[in-house]
Copies of this chain bind each other. A is one copy, B any other.
C-alpha cells in the first residue's frame, strides 16, 4: 500500500483495481472465452476445462509480465503467453486453444469493465452511507437556523437542514446517474484483431453471447475497440460525482473556520491534530475530499482527449486510458468513502449558527424589510431606502431594526409589530420546509436498493 492510500483512497476500491485483481479479471475473461468457445464447439470441452483450471494467479509470474508489457505494448500478450505455457505444462492439446479468436484488447477492456462495475457498486454503497447521514442531519436540523451565504457573504436566514437536504438531493441524483452508467458500461468487449471476429467464422455472435452471460455482462451491437464513448461516459460521470463531493467538503471546510465554527469534523482518534500547534483541529477529511475533487477533472479531460483513437484499434489514446480510468475510479471511490465517514461523524454547533446569524445586527433581514416595503413603495425605492438604513446601522453599530423603526417612511407603511416579525428568521424561511420535505420524500429509499447483489 502506498503511504497516502488511507488518506485519499478506499481499501475496497484499491483492492478492486489492484494489479492483482486486474490479472484475476483478465483470467476470468480468458476462462469465459474458453468455455464459450467450447459451447459453440469451436474448441474441445476438455481443453476449455483445462484452460479454466489454469486461469488463476498461480499460473502467473507477475514480475515477468512487466518486462513483457514493455515488449508487447500491453499486459495481455505476456499474460496469454504465460497462461499458454501453464496450460501446456498440463495438456499440450488444450494449450492450442488459449485466447482463441480474441485480441489483447478484448481481454483488457472486458477486465476493465468488470473492475469498473465492482467499483461502481462500492461507490454506490458509500453514496448510500452519505445519503443516510444527510437524511439524519436533515431531519435533526430542519429547524436549525443559520445564515445563508452567497458570494461568501451573509444573505438570508436558512436552516442547516435545508443545506443538508440540498446536498442529499445532489447525491441522490448522482446515485441515479451512476446506476445508468453501470448499465451502459456493463458490456462485453469481443471483436478479435480488427473487430470482425474473423477467426471464429460465423460463430462470433454465439460465442460473445455465451461469454457475456458467464461474466454477467450484456452484448453490445458491435465491438467498440476504438469507440470509447462508454468509458468516457464513465469517467465523466465520476467527474461530476467528484464535483459534488468537492462542493460538500468545501462548505464544511468553510463552516469549520475558526471564526465561523458552525460544524466540525469528528476528532475521533486524534484526527486533525497539528505537528506543532496544540490548539489545531484540522478538517482532514475535507482536505482529502477536496484534493480528490481537484484531481479528477484533469483526468477526465485526459480520457476525453484520448477518444480520437485511430482506425480499428488505436495507438497511444487507448494506452493513455489504462492507468487513468482506474485512477479516476480510485479517487472518486476515495472521495466517496471519505465523504461517508465525514458526514457520519459531523459535529453540528447550532448555537454558533444562531450566534453568527445575529453577528450583523439585523442586516441579514434587510431583504425581508425591503420586499415588504417594496409591496408598498416599489421594489427599487424600497431597496434604496433599506440600503441607506443598512449604512446607518453599520456606521452607528446599531441594530437595523432600531434604525428602521425610527424611519418615518418605514413606519408609515409597516407597523412596529410587523417590523418585529420581519426580524424573526423563522418567519422568513419561505419554502424551506417544502423543499426539505420534497427531498426527504424523493430520497427516502436508497437508489442503490436496486443495484442488488454483487
Contact = CB atoms under 8 A, between A and B. Distances in A.
B236 A240 contact: yes
A160 B131 CA distance: 42
A416 interface: no
Contacts of A283: 151-153, 315
Nearest to A323: B4
Contacts of A257: 149, 152-153, 257, 259-260
Contacts of A290: 308, 315-317, 319-320
B270 A360 contact: no
A9 to B, nearest CB: 10
A21 to B, nearest CB: 11
Contacts of A378: 92-93, 95-96
B287 A315 contact: yes
A326 to B, nearest CB: 10
Interface stretch (A116-124, A170-178, A407-415, A446-454): A170-178
Contacts of A192: 156, 276, 430
A12 interface: no
B253 A432 contact: no
A104 interface: yes
Nearest to A442: B221
Contacts of A75: 3-4
A430 B19 contact: no
A296 B173 CA distance: 24
Contacts of A195: 148, 158, 162, 166, 435
A72 interface: yes
A240 to B, nearest CB: 5
A193 B156 contact: yes
Contact of A254 (B151, B163, B194, B310): B310
A444 interface: no
A137 interface: no
B288 A3 contact: no
Nearest to A380: B84
Interface string A375-415: 10111110110110110000000001000000000000000
A310 to B, nearest CB: 5
A151 B367 contact: no
Interface size class of A (residues with CB under 8 A): 35 or more
Most B CB contacts (10 A, CB to CB) among A19, A194, A302 go to A194
Interface string A411-454: 00000000000000000111110110011001000000000000
A58 interface: no
Copies in the complex: 4
A259 B260 contact: yes
Interface string A201-223: 11011000000000000000111
A6 interface: yes
Contact of A431 (B204, B370, B430): B204
A155 B368 CA distance: 38
B297 A316 contact: no
A151 B287 contact: yes
A368 to B, nearest CB: 7
A419 to B, nearest CB: 15
Interface in A230-284: 230, 232-233, 236-237, 239-240, 242-244, 246-247, 249-251, 253-254, 256-260, 269-284
A8 to B, nearest CB: 7
A5 interface: yes
A147 B157 CA distance: 28
Contacts of A364: 279
Most B CB contacts (10 A, CB to CB) among A98, A102, A226, A271 go to A226
A92 B148 CA distance: 32
Contacts of A377: 96
A359 interface: yes
Nearest to A233: B240
A291 B295 CA distance: 18
A386 B273 CA distance: 12
A295 B300 CA distance: 10
9 contacts: A73-B284, A93-B378, A149-B311, A152-B257, A155-B277, A196-B435, A246-B307, A257-B259, A259-B259
Task: Report the 8 A-B pairs with minimum CB-CB distance, sorted nearest first.
Answer: A290-B316, A243-B307, A148-B194, A96-B378, A298-B298, A236-B236, A291-B319, A198-B430
